[in-house]
Structure 1
Amino acid sequence: NELIKRNAGRDTFILGFGGGVVLDITGFAASLFKRGCRFGFVATSLLSMADASVGGKNGINFGNLKNLIGTINQPEWVVCDVKLLNTLPDEDFKSGLGEIMKYSMIADKNLLQFMNINNQKILNKDFDVLNHLIKSSVNIKAGFVVEDEFDHGQRQHLNFGHSFGHAIETRINIKHGIAVAKGMLIATKISVAMQICNKSLIDKISALISSFDISLDYEIDDVVWQNIANDKKNRGNKIRMILIRDIGDTIIHDFDIEELKNIVQKI
């Protein structure tokens, strides 16, 4: 309605200035309005700089389910200025760190080590350190997107932590990256229970999450399971999850929901 009121046309350039939600809405609207308008992003949160502004996914929630409706359409450009992060509330900053942790876990031992070594500088929002985190995350994600833009194979590994993360985020309304951090911990525990990774990996990821003052606590109730069952990543009647064998080594695994429930009860 707003675009119509402002006499926007197919030659209109739409700018998204904000965090992940704003950028998703901008990309989604630009993808659909008059069959597509040009658009670009100025990312203002750590999560949007390191993750949401990259890759072309533009999703909106529907029916209390996360990102159920969306498009894949790339912005013409993205601007990230870390000085904007000085205005960011602590919970939103931690949310961005959750996604950056994910990139370190699925693809880059050096990034994981960098986060551990520079923990205090990260929390103090050192610009040089934050620029390194953002560039590393963007490069990792771009590598997956170039190989599989439309999410049919390799790009799905970016969903590590997102199955339970999305379900918990929707259930208790916490920040996305914080929910993803909890989801990564759960996925790692499931991986250990299935004997595909060493138990020491739980300690590594727990220490990393805790070092940024993100709680390790979570609750998996019937509503979370309902959200899991309705996850858009599922295939047929199977729950699709990304499990981990080691830092930089993740796999796609499909579960029957009762099988998954039995495993989760034991962790």
Structure 2
Amino acid sequence: MPAQLLDGKVLSQRMYAAMTTQVQELTTKYGRPPGLAVLMVGDNPASAAYVRNKERACERVGIASFGTHFPTDVTQAELEQTIQALNTDDRVDGILVQLPLPGNHLDGTALLLKIDPSKDADGLHPDNLGRLMRGEPGLRSCTPNGVMEMLKAYDIAVAGKKAVVIGRSILVGKPIALMLLAENATVTIAHSRTPDLATVTQEADIVVAAVGRPNLVTADMVKPGAVVIDVGINRIPTESGKGRLVGDVDFAAVESIASYITPVPGGVGQMTVAMLLHNTVLSYSRRLGET
């Protein structure tokens, strides 16, 4: 039997519908909608596409979008001043800087530190990561939180399971490991220096691949019946020259072995944007005393 798809597109649509109703009620009550500000620098086509998707999603659920597009030669000081202004703007509840930043003259980490943690829509400020570490309420990293929402929505039990996270980035690997641990999974973090990766993953009930290497996870690395979460998004060349998107998992081979699997595209990526909007509404609600 092929694995059941963990359909991020369907789940995100369900979330948008619920958020639309919530935003309408809150906007009526407080006289303004939640607001999300996205700062983009340069003309990276992939970044531009991501920003357009975020703006469309905001429009769909009724969130005000305050996108700002800067030229490649914008200075660090100009961006920091913009963030400081957004921190004090009562119309704005979420702020994010679209990565990657072009050139070597901009420091993304320093910009992140300038964002008010209560408006950190990406959930990547050290204050919010520290709250995750301590098990305290806070804005959570969007992609890892999206993975947890998928597991919850499909009634996949995490407690008592062995989970292997491949990747140790601060964006996905480390936060998802902490989230799984908080749900009482036994978690192993594997990475590029892990010897005999297949031996590690073969024991896992849940495999999360988040390294950005096409088809890294092959059929012989997956235990029959395991849940496989593919966070990777990689564009590989095709004869047409347009390329196509694949994940870190060899989907065609692993689908017949796993019990559940996320597709690429249409899986975790869809949930990332949904959780970004969720964080914005959550920040709005907290700032206005709703939660």
- TM-score category by the smaller chain? under 0.3
Greater RCO structure (CA 8 Å; 6+ sep): 2
Larger CA Rg, structure 1 vs 2: 2
Greater share of helix: 1
**Under a length normalisation based on structure 2, what TM-score does the superposition of the two structures give?**
0.23
**Under a length normalisation based on structure 1, what TM-score does the superposition of the two structures give?**
0.24
